[in-house]
A = this chain, B = another copy of it.
Amino acid sequence: MKRPLIVQKFGGTSVGSVERIENVAEHVIRAKYSGKQVVVVVSAMSGETNRLMALAKQVDKVPNARELDVLLSAGEQVSMALLAMTLDRMGHKAVSLTGAQAGIKTNRIHNDATISDIDTQAIEHYLQQDQIVIVAGFQGINDLGDITTLGRGGSDTTAVTLAGALKAEECQIFTDVDGVYSCDPRVVSNAKRIAQIDYPTMEEMARKGAKVLHLPCVQYARNNRVPVRVVSSFTEGSGTLVCGESVCTGLTGIAIQKDLVAIGVAAAQVESVDKQCKMLGIESYWLTQANQNELLIKAEHSDKLKLVIEDKITQEQQVGLLTLVGTKAREQVSHYQQLLKFSDISVLHFFEDEHSISLVLTPSTIDRAANLLHDGHIINDGALSREEKQVYLG
């Protein structure tokens, strides 16, 4: 059972200055005035994590992992205290809690910890006193009592996990964009905000490169049925609501990833290379076409992998991935290929997943392909008004 409680998460840009923190306080107070209990998760002020990281790098190129967590976690401590002071000045009782104080337990992996459990006792104590509770994002404590920090998108994970543990009716992710778009608006200027999206589709978008929500965050929300709303800190609007299991029909969006490498491997080596990827925790796709076996991985992982499979590599190529997400995607693959062919964009490979078709392209053609396919095919019932639908119907 959900309860009338909202978790709101504000990223580094949203708390980037004392003025912006006032703006955050107004969002928080609005939620409180609507009669809900409010738990707020904050990141470090933008620039602060970089400043602290630069100090650490001045000391040591590879700083001690435990101590890096001690250092970086000071960042959220500053923003959460400033937000609590601001709310207090505005006449609202608020209390800030570090990850440890908020009972956010993690495993022992420093710099990339996973939340194992949340002991909500302290938070519930303050909620019962009708206080606004502010929790440091991105950090927790392990069973040794050491401070840990979560991996990428850590504050989102804190927020969604807290929302799950507290049975919040909604987890609101405030950010600098006003929702999830049908494609990255910096690439496709016609991209439209999606008003509502189901978990499986959002999960596939995130897995294939949409950056607004991190994959583990979506997966946690889905598994724990936490409705997540992506909304802008700076403009009014209802953003994008992520919830529900029934996959919406049609094409929802296009996810793109530009920083991939396709590594050719001899057929006899596929099994051992696959094993090594898994051991190193590197996400990979196998592209098999005729006698060619190519491994698709993120460019940032290629150096690490090449250290162990150097001798097994037959060729290597930088590529991009364009993924059309939606139930309709698989029906239309030949149509996509045709459209791209007419525009002299060659598809190197393609592969299917349950609700998507992914096209492997040369990186330089990605943006053009995204615009062509988006404007030719995207149909989204949630995002587009009746008039827009007519324009965008493929």
Number of copies: 2
Q: Mark A76-99, 1 if CB is under 8 A from B, else 0.
A: 011011101110110000011010
Whether A18 is near chain B, meaning CB under 8 Å from some CB there, is: yes
Q: For residues 261 through 276 of chain A, which have their beta carbon under 8 Å from a beta carbon of chain B?
A: none
Closest to A18 in B: B58
Interface hits, A85-139 → B, CB 8 Å: 85-86, 88-89, 95-96, 98, 100-101, 122
A279 interfacial contact with B, CB 8 Å = no
Chain B residues positioned under 8 Å from A95 (CB to CB)? 66
Within 8 Å CB of A145, what residues of B?
101, 122
A343 within 8 A of B: no
Across the interface, A78 reaches (CB within 8 A) one of B66, B71, B88, namely B71
Q: Does A378 contact B (CB under 8 A)?
A: no
Query: Would you give the shortest CB distance from A311 to chain B, in whole angstroms?
Result: 34
In the complex, chain B residues whose CB is within 8 Å of the CB of A56: 81-82, 85
Q: What's the dominant secondary structure at chain A's contact region?
A: helix
In the complex, A74→B89 CA distance in Å? 21
CB neighbours (8 Å) of A101 from chain B are 145
Does A63 sit within 8 A of B, measured CB to CB? Answer: yes
User: Is A60 positioned at the interface, with any CB of B under 8 Å from its CB?
Assistant: yes
User: Lowest 5 A-B CB distances belong to which pairs?
Assistant: A71-B81, A70-B81, A74-B74, A74-B77, A64-B88
